[in-house]
Amino acid sequence: MASIWCQELTGGLDFLSPGLLICLQMSQWGTVLWMTTLWVFIQEGIGNFEFGVIILFYTGMYLAFFLSRWLLEPGNFLFIFLFSLILAIWNWIIVLGAVSFQELHVLLPSPWKQIPLQWLAYVVHWSISLALFRRSVKYGHL
């Protein structure tokens, strides 16, 4: 719910993906599966593209996550910091590709503005959510 509100208030930044990444970090595969399905339908439903763009985005995200895991420990801040940058760039590429592939003549915001903003959003949201998640686990709520 908070993520949907964040998406509304920031005018188009993605706040749903960090939830999936936290589940991946914690290796909660069942949760990853149902959350991915739900997130795909939510993002596609509130977006303006033909169905399928978010599936491509999440597939790329999962591949990048498993490849990055070989290099860095997924739990630390450096991983979150660098992976968020990759994700923000990937997000921009996917949107740009979808706009061009589906021949939508729209004005996209500048990548020099959109990518840093999305990067910041991922880092902040991911860090806060992860801290809250760990706290909940520590106190036995999860």
Partner 1 sequence: MKSPRFKRLVLFFFLPLFLYFSIYTWNWKTGHLNYLSTLVGLDLAGWILTPGRWIQHNTNSFWARYIYLVGVRQENEELLLQVHELEFEVLRVAEKAKAADRLASMLRFTPETTWDRRGCRVIGQKLGPNAVLETMLIDVGTLDGVRHHDPVISTKGVVGQILKPGLKFSNVLLLTDVTSRIPVITSTGRIPAIAHGQGSGSFLEIKFIPRNDEIVPGEILLTSGQGGIFPKGIPVARVVEVTPADVSLFQKVYAEPLLNLRYYEELLILSRRETIDPLATNGTILDNPEGNDNASAKDIKPPTPNP
Residues that bind partner 1 (CB under 8 A): 1, 4-5, 7-8, 11-14, 16, 38, 40-56, 59, 91, 95, 98-99, 104-108, 118
Question: What are the start-end ranges of the H helices in 11-52?
Answer: 17-25, 29-46
Contact indicator for 99, 106 with CB cutoff of 8 Å: yes
Compute the least distance from the CB of residue 31 to partner 1, in Å. 18
Compute the least distance from the CB of residue 101 to partner 1, in Å. 10
Contact indicator for 83, 68 with CB cutoff of 8 Å: yes
Name the residue nearer to partner 1 (CB basis): 88 or 130: 88
Compute the least distance from the CB of residue 13 to partner 1, in Å. 7
Q: Which residues contact 23 (CB under 8 A, 6 or more apart)?
A: 31, 32, 35
